[in-house]
């Protein structure tokens, strides 16, 4: 029984009513808090002592920025403002409006705290008159609402005039209305519904927060528990004691609350580590430009809370957002640095952005960490220990799992993932955090991230008030403000035997993100390979010239930042609005333009003497093989002059579609430049490739394979001549186009659902004709009509030098909720298929025996998927796709989707992509598929050259030895070569074991080096390597899928 000592009221048998009428009492106490029907007689009636609006208390002027400009404070305040008032609307969407606010606090507010309320039903930022961002505003209803700004804790009776500014953004936390139904560019106008001065009654607010917690505990604790009854009785007693006409009744009501909260439980209770957080999507339902303002708004608000609540700790991630803040809001950034020193503001996450983890390459993931940690070290004096990825659509098995936090796997839609570390700051959430903590047998601790997220905002005052009340009260887990490191370090020390999970953390949802926004994915793939060339060639130029060449370190770092930015988990996966892709297209254009120029700068330096100055000067082709292995290839050399062409004989073929000369480049050594003189090379040795008609069918044949293509463009037969083996089973086909219904349950751009596989149309090709007829290349062209408006035109090519059959596709795509796939059925039997992932591969089932198998009906793969049995296999390669599936012996590649939300124009229009099949002897582990897929993606580089000058040339262009070579380990791939981050003359080589075995590789370099050491991804020393000065090499041991980074120094 709760009896307030200071009560004047006689409390009649509250306990008895509570017992008899639980649900009535429960409704009563809930209604007491409600802002609805009873607000004039419940707690709501006393929350504000005074409120005024309009002139002469508040004067409002506005200036609206033109178009979608987001001007700076300095620019905005110089403009001409006009008078405005509460009630006017501002828009359209994505415009910006600056308000000049002049406030005169009336005398009757003396002695009271005063707040300025500003609700534009949109996002806004309060600025001081001298240009410091003070606090973010989130207008509108709901839990995210945050519209009060504290002007003074205690007004005097002679307040002067106050002046400040409000920057209003015509968009809300989640962009621009309901993105599932409407395009984001529509014109919404936002109403300025509240501009007021109020004097909050702080005691009444405290009572409100007390009751909020107690009422929720009454409702959420097990209904038969003693604590739930105690909560209900306490709340009921408080309502009985309180009288809205007499604010002196607040104190006795609060005493009841204090008595209730002071009952602590046993110390064996579950411990929750609470961390304030605000997940800000770097772009999603808003563009990058708005995110720059979102982080400023959110974090300004958090800094204020830190001053008011000294125990409060807040974590924010994504180095990119900090860098934007540093550029655009230097004062705010400096304040964050101060709060980081005092430990309240916790920069976290380790990576440049919270990236997607399915699609970026291994090197891209490495760069996310490198760029992120460098920023944190430079600006916050330490690197992050916790890798933070609360919201991504899959987790690479290669992620450094030092510490790993995620909540997203609890979204799985087929299997519940057995380990959780987390849930969302209300009593009910604390109860859930204990209840849903599946590792509770092993550790009695969990982490609670709280705060408004996605669109920004973060924790609000009310959450911190609740947290104080819930810290140590019986019935709830104990909860304390903490640094995430504290949580992980404590779990590590106290957990008896945490369950470990073997294999990939497969995320069973959002399988459409392997395909949506296809052109963006293609740009990502191409940018990754371009960066590889740029860094390798610039490193060679610098190292081989003993530092004469000026390595463009800052330019390269900037390009990587751009590549990493576009890998944000709503950009690269294809789940953002159209505006975001217009921005990312511009960023990719810049990457390609500057990247090409930087590559050319390096090749000019290295090979400038040999490169032909004019067409007449060209007597050969300089081939530059940036792969680490030898290649034989057929390349198009459009600039080859006629004089050379006529001498070249059978080594050259003119391509039909564009008249480009195709040239055979045989045995081009890896990591080296080599001269190809078409006139000097002896006659073509290999037998020419043939194409001919056989009845209705067409045959493509070389010395290795014979492929029969039906009149509908499908592969009817694929014979490996060397093995005397037919690869297409009786009655089956390959290159079959299928158009599926693609209507997911909810998340349009995100999801492909399993039931869609039940409903599809098979699309035959027509008008097949022969195009190129050898000797180097033979090809067919076929048209595949899709629906009424989309047409795919495909070139099918076999060369004289490889068993690889290539498919080159151009398509105009205009479908609605359809998904296009292509499939190949092979006479190969295996329970698993192999898919390329970052720096390695992953095997997944080809059957659907269990629900875990079934969930993998559409999976992510990088450049290839492979289906192999004992002795033989076939790989399906691609140059920009990521969605694969293999069911029994049918391999399928998802080519295009057509979701309509959140971008109604997603993927509409032209697309270009290529895929290929590559049959091989032996299993995948015995194959060269990894290198073949690389070669398929990256053509040999070539430059017009003068052969005479080449023979004279020493240095790198004429180098007898490759810049780098790897021997004794065909399973190891030399992936990245770059200048060392420390800016010295050192350089770094990154390799990985690609097939899942051990290796001892010998790495040799022709570049000047005296010493080699193993370093980590951040290029910190790990161990020394033995350097063999005569062979200029070092031996390195690899474990399966191990990534090894070697730093060479002089």
Residues that bind Zn ion (CB under 5 A): 281, 391
- Token pair 């500014």 is found at 165
- Rounded to whole angstroms, the Cα distance separating 837 from 859 reads 11
- Rounded to whole angstroms, the Cα distance separating 724 from 415 reads 44
Here the tokens at position 443 are 């550790």
Closest CA to 369 of 299, 317, 291: 317
User: Closer to Zn ion at the Cβ: 442 or 747?
Assistant: 747
The dihedral formed by the CA atoms of 774, 777, 778 and 779, expressed in degrees to the nearest 10: -140
Here the tokens at position 187 are 């014109």
Helices (H) and strands (E) in the chain, counts: 20, 54
Closest CA to 260 of 223, 225, 215: 215
Min CB(354)–Zn ion separation in Å: 7
Min CB(314)–Zn ion separation in Å: 18
User: Closer to Zn ion at the Cβ: 576 or 895?
Assistant: 576
User: Closer to Zn ion at the Cβ: 281 or 633?
Assistant: 281
Q: Residue count of the chain, please give it.
A: 1050
Q: Are 96 and 123 in contact (CB under 8 A)?
A: no
Min CB(745)–Zn ion separation in Å: 20
User: CA dist 789 to 52, 784, 846, Å?
Assistant: 61, 11, 34
- Name the burial class of residue 630, with classes exposed (0-12), middle (13-18) and buried (19+) by CB atoms within 10 angstroms of its CB: middle
Closest CA to 477 of 272, 276, 274, 227: 272
Radius of gyration of the chain (CA): 33
- Rounded to whole angstroms, the Cα distance separating 879 from 913 reads 7
- Rounded to whole angstroms, the Cα distance separating 130 from 74 reads 9
Q: Are 785 and 731 in contact (CB under 8 A)?
A: no
Q: HSE of 826 in the Cβ direction (CA atoms, 13 Å)?
A: 28
Cis ω for the linkage preceding 56 (within 30 of 0): yes
User: Closer to Zn ion at the Cβ: 336 or 571?
Assistant: 571
Active site residues: 391
- Rounded to whole angstroms, the Cα distance separating 362 from 99 reads 47
User: Closer to Zn ion at the Cβ: 198 or 576?
Assistant: 576
User: Closer to Zn ion at the Cβ: 351 or 898?
Assistant: 351
- Name the burial class of residue 982, with classes exposed (0-12), middle (13-18) and buried (19+) by CB atoms within 10 angstroms of its CB: exposed
Cis ω for the linkage preceding 775 (within 30 of 0): yes
Q: Which residue is nearest to Zn ion (CB)?
A: 391
User: Closer to Zn ion at the Cβ: 119 or 281?
Assistant: 281
Min CB(458)–Zn ion separation in Å: 14
User: Closer to Zn ion at the Cβ: 457 or 803?
Assistant: 457
Q: Which residues contact 465 (CB under 8 A, 6 or more apart)?
A: 205, 206, 209
Min CB(500)–Zn ion separation in Å: 27
Angle 105-111-114 from CA coordinates, rounded to 5°: 45
Min CB(186)–Zn ion separation in Å: 23
Own/partner pairs for 18-27, CB < 8 Å, 24+ apart? 18/229, 18/232, 18/233, 18/236, 19/229, 22/223, 22/232, 25/232, 25/236, 26/218, 26/219, 26/232
User: Closer to Zn ion at the Cβ: 255 or 751?
Assistant: 751
Residue 5: alpha-carbon gap to chain centroid:
57
User: Closer to Zn ion at the Cβ: 133 or 459?
Assistant: 459
- Token pair 């709901």 is found at 142
Min CB(962)–Zn ion separation in Å: 44
User: Closer to Zn ion at the Cβ: 391 or 677?
Assistant: 391
Min CB(393)–Zn ion separation in Å: 10
User: Closer to Zn ion at the Cβ: 184 or 671?
Assistant: 184
Min CB(173)–Zn ion separation in Å: 13
Here the tokens at position 93 are 């969407």
Q: Is 444 helix (H, G, I), strand (E, B) or coil?
A: coil
Closest CA to 985 of 1020, 1002, 1009, 956: 1009
Q: Are 768 and 709 in contact (CB under 8 A)?
A: yes
Min CB(279)–Zn ion separation in Å: 6
Q: In this structure, is the dihedral angle defined by the CA atoms of residues 628, 633, 638 and 644, taken in order, positive or negative?
A: positive
Min CB(392)–Zn ion separation in Å: 8
- Rounded to whole angstroms, the Cα distance separating 671 from 731 reads 45
Q: Are 100 and 81 in contact (CB under 8 A)?
A: yes
Min CB(194)–Zn ion separation in Å: 30
- Rounded to whole angstroms, the Cα distance separating 136 from 125 reads 4
């Amino acid at each position: 029984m709760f009896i307030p000592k200071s009560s004047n009221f006689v409390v009649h048998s509250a306990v008895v009513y509570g017992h008899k009428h639980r649900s009535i009492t429960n409704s009563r106490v809930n209604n007491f808090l409600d802002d609805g029907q009873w607000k004039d007689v419940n707690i709501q009636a006393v929350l504000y002592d005074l409120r005024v609006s309009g002139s002469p208390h508040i004067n409002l002027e506005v200036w609206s920025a033109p178009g979608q400009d987001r001007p700076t404070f300095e620019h905005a305040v110089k403009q001409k403002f006009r008078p405005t008032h509460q009630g006017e609307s501002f828009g359209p969407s994505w415009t910006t409006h600056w308000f000049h606010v002049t406030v005169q606090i009336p005398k009757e507010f003396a002695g009271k705290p005063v707040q300025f309320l500003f609700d534009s039903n949109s996002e806004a930022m309060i600025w001081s008159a001298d240009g410091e961002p003070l606090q973010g505003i989130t207008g509108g209803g709901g839990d995210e609402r945050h519209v009060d700004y504290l002007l003074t804790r205690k007004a005097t009776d002679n307040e002067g005039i106050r002046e400040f500014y409000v920057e209003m953004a015509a968009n809300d936390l989640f962009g621009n209305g309901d993105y599932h139904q409407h395009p984001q560019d529509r014109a919404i106008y936002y109403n300025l519904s509240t501009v007021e001065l109020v004097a909050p009654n702080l005691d009444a607010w405290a009572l409100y927060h007390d009751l909020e917690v107690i009422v929720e505990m009454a409702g959420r604790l097990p209904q038969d528990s003693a604590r739930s009854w105690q909560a209900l009785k306490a709340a009921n007693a408080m309502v009985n004691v309180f009288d809205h006409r007499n604010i002196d009744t607040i104190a006795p009501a609060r005493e009841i609350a204090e008595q209730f909260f002071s009952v602590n439980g046993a110390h064996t209770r579950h411990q929750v580590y609470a961390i304030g957080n605000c997940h800000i999507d770097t772009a999603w339902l808003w563009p990058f430009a708005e995110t720059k303002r979102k982080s400023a708004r959110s974090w300004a608000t958090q800094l204020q809370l830190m001053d008011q609540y000294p125990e409060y700790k807040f974590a924010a991630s994504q180095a990119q957002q900090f860098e934007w803040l540093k550029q655009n809001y230097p004062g705010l950034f400096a304040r964050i640095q101060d709060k980081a020193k005092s430990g309240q503001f916790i920069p976290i996450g380790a990576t440049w952005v919270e990236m997607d983890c399915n699609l970026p390459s291994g090197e891209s993931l490495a760069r996310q960490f490198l760029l992120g940690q460098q920023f944190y070290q430079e600006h916050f004096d330490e690197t992050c220990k916790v890798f933070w990825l609360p919201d991504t659509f899959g987790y690479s098995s290669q992620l450094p799992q030092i510490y790993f936090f995620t909540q997203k796997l609890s979204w799985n839609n087929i299997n519940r993932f057995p380990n959780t570390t987390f849930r969302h700051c209300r009593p009910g959430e604390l109860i859930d955090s204990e209840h849903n903590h599946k590792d509770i047998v092993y550790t009695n601790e969990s982490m609670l991230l709280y705060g408004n997220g996605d669109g920004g905002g973060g924790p609000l005052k009310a959450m911190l008030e609740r947290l104080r009340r819930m810290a140590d009260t019986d019935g709830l887990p104990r909860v304390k403000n903490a640094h995430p490191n504290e949580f992980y370090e404590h779990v590590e020390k106290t957990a008896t035997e945490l369950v470990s999970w073997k294999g990939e953390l497969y995320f069973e949802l959002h399988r459409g993100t392997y395909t949506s926004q296809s052109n963006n994915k293609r740009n990502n793939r191409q940018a990754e390979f371009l960066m590889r060339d740029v860094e390798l060639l610039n490193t060679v130029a610098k190292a081989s010239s003993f530092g004469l060449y000026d390595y463009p370190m800052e330019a390269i770092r900037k390009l990587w930042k751009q590549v990493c930015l576009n890998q944000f988990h709503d950009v690269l996966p294809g789940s953002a609005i159209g505006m975001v892709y217009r921005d990312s297209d511009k960023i990719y254009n810049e990457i390609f333009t500057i990247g090409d120029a930087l590559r050319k700068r390096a090749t000019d330096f290295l090979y400038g003497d040999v490169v032909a100055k004019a067409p007449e000067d060209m007597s050969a082709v300089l081939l530059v093989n940036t792969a680490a292995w030898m290649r034989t290839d057929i390349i198009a050399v459009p600039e080859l002059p006629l004089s050379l062409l006529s001498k070249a004989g059978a080594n050259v073929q003119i391509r039909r579609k564009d008249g480009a000369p195709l040239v055979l480049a045989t045995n081009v050594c890896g990591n080296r430049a080599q001269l190809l003189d078409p006139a000097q090379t002896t006659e073509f040795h290999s037998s020419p490739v043939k194409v001919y008609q056989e009845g209705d069918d067409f045959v493509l044949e070389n010395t290795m394979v014979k492929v029969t293509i039906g009149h509908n463009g499908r592969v009817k037969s694929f014979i490996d001549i060397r093995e005397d083996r037919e690869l297409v089973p009786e009655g089956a086909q390959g290159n079959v186009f299928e158009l599926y219904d693609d209507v997911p349950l909810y998340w349009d751009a995100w999801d492909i659902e399993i039931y869609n596989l039940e409903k599809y149309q098979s699309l035959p090709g027509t008008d097949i004709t022969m195009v190129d007829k050898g000797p180097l290349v033979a090809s067919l062209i076929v048209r595949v009509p899709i629906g009424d408006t989309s047409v795919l035109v495909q070139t099918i090519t076999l060369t004289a030098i490889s068993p690889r059959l290539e498919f080159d596709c151009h398509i105009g795509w205009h479908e609605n909720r359809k998904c296009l796939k292509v499939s190949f059925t092979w006479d190969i039997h295996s329970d698993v298929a192999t898919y390329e992932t970052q720096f390695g591969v992953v095997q997944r089932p080809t059957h659907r025996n269990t629900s875990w198998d079934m969930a993998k009906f559409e999976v992510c793969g990088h450049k290839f998927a492979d289906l192999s049995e004992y002795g033989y296999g076939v790989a399906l390669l691609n140059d920009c796709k990521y969605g694969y599936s293999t069911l029994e012996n049918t391999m399928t590649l998802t080519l295009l989707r057509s979701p309509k939300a959140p971008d109604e124009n997603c993927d509409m229009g032209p697309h270009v992509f290529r895929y290929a099949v590559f049959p091989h002897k032996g299993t995948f582990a015995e194959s060269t598929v990894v290198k073949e897929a690389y070669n398929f993606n990256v053509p040999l580089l070539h430059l017009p050259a003068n052969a005479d000058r080449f023979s004279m040339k020493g240095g790198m262009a004429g180098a007898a030895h490759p810049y780098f070579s790897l021997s004794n380990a065909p399973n190891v791939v030399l992936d990245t070569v770059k200048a060392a981050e420390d800016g010295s003359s050192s350089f770094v080589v990154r390799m990985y074991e690609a097939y899942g075995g051990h290796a001892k590789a010998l790495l040799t370099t022709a570049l000047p080096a005296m010493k080699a050491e193993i370093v980590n991804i951040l290029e910190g020393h790990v161990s020394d390597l033995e350097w063999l000065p005569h062979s200029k090499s070092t031996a390195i041991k690899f474990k399966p899928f191990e990534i090894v980074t070697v730093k060479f120094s002089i």
